[in-house]
Amino acid sequence: MQRAATNSPRLSAIQYAKNNGPQRKHNELVLAFCQPAFLVEPSNTLRILDVGCGTGDFTRDGLLPCCVPCAKIVGVDVTPEMIEHARRHSAHEKIEYELLNIGGDVTELLIQ
């Protein structure tokens, strides 16, 4: 995956993890709206992409339970600190966390 370059101010991963309650509630609403998309036949090859996964807590605790038939969730974020935090604190055998700027070339992710 490519390194992300950004000049915008960001919260540290620890600050974000402690203060992401409003974002989490929004994520839950969006997930409830999109829930029919997850009603598919179980598949060992289904992969789900979580763009902007941040600290990974919602990826693991919110998204993963809704994606039981999936083989893998790939959580991507533009911030290296968020990805490292996710790998340390939100690890799961069905989740990979990768650094990726979706505004750039994502070819490598697509061919994996």
**Does the pLDDT at position 110 exceed 60?**
yes
**pLDDT grade for 23, boundaries at 50, 70 and 90:** confident
CA–CA separation, 49 and 100 (whole Å):
11
Q: Is residue 34 part of a domain?
A: yes
Residue 93 has pLDDT above 90, yes or no: yes
CATH number, domain of 90, equals 3.40.50.150
Instruction: Provide, rounded to the nearest whole percent, the portion of the chain with pLDDT above 90.
Output: 37
Domain containing 36 equals 13-111
- Average pLDDT of span 67-93: 92
Is 25 a member of any domain?
A: yes
- Amino acid symbol at 27: N
Condensed to tens digits (0 to 9), the pLDDT of residues 30-43 reads: 777 777 766 667 67
User: What is the structure's pLDDT at 15?
Assistant: 81
Domain count, the chain: 1
Within a domain: 61: yes
Inside any domain, residue 8: no
pTM higher than the cut 0.85: no
| pLDDT given at position 80 | 95
Would you say residue 89 has pLDDT above 80? yes
Domain assignment of residue 3, yes or no = no
For 31-56, give the DSSP string.
HHHHGGGG-----SS-EEEEET-TTS
Position 77 pLDDT exceeds 90: yes
